[in-house]
Amino acid sequence: MLGLLLASALVASSPVQIVPGTYSYTATLAGAKVGSSTLTVKDVNGTTQIDEQASGAMSGQSASANATLNLGPDLAPTNYQLNGMSDGSPVKDAATIAGTTANITNVHGRSQSFDLLASTKHFVILDFGTFAGFLPLPAQMRAWNDPVVLAIVPSIGQSVSLIPADASTAPTRPTTVPATDRSISFQGQAAFTIWYDPTTNIPDEIDVTAQGLIVTRQH
């Protein structure tokens, strides 16, 4: 009996996981394809590493990037780095997070730091042109019990609070999303919804309704 109780306690306290694997996504804007991305999730000694290769084109300009995002055992981001090309010119940015401070270098080489706000307890990293920071969001929010988080955007050197929407205002399920998927929505100026597989915590679709942007997993 004691063994069963201990086993049950271990299962109940086990952390939320992001299932390792390789995942591909396509982004469309108003129905036109604007980008694609392939991400590899690895378990590295109890931490999570997400490597991404992304490419896209919009308004006659093309871009490509390689990005790496590392998460600690609690899924909190520890560091991020991007190297790429934008319309023929090299670009790079980076972020390092320690405690309640995030230090970033934007695409212009300028260094900045951001501290957690009184209303936030966790950082997340959401960069322009890459999907690496969006992929772990469902797992992070489940692990942290859906708090307000401070999103860092390294490329432009800005931060924004992500506020989970009221669960009572559940979005309409798209026909493209599996019936077993769950959703998490964020309200505010850049509102969006992530539909994800609750077994793997991997996103199947992200809808940014106001901009007509949809990111869809390619199975």
pLDDT tens digit string along 88-119?
Answer: 999 999 999 999 999 999 999 999 999 999 99
Q: What's 93-154 look like in SS3?
A: EEEEEECCEEEEECCCCCEEEEECCCCCCCEEECCCCCCCCCCCHHHHHHHCCCCCEEEEEC
Alpha-carbon distance values, 93 to 67, 73, 86 (Å): 9, 24, 13
Mean pLDDT (whole number) for 199-214: 93
DSSP class per residue in 63-91: EEEEEEEEE-TTS-EEEEEEEEEETTEEE
DSSP class per residue in 7-49: HHHHHHHPPP----EEEEEEEEETTEEEEEEEEEEEEETTEEE
How many angstroms separate the CA atoms of 35 and 155, rounded? 18
Q: Where is pLDDT greater, at 161 or 167?
A: 161
Q: How confident is the model at residue 219 (pLDDT cuts 50, 70, 90)?
A: confident
The whole-model pTM stands at 0.90
Q: Note the pLDDT tens digit of each residue in 30-70.
A: 999 999 999 999 999 999 999 999 999 877 789 999 999 99
Is residue 29 predicted with pLDDT exceeding 50?
yes
Most confident of 5-9, 15-19, 213-217: 213-217
User: 188 and 179 in contact (C-beta within 8 Å)?
Assistant: no
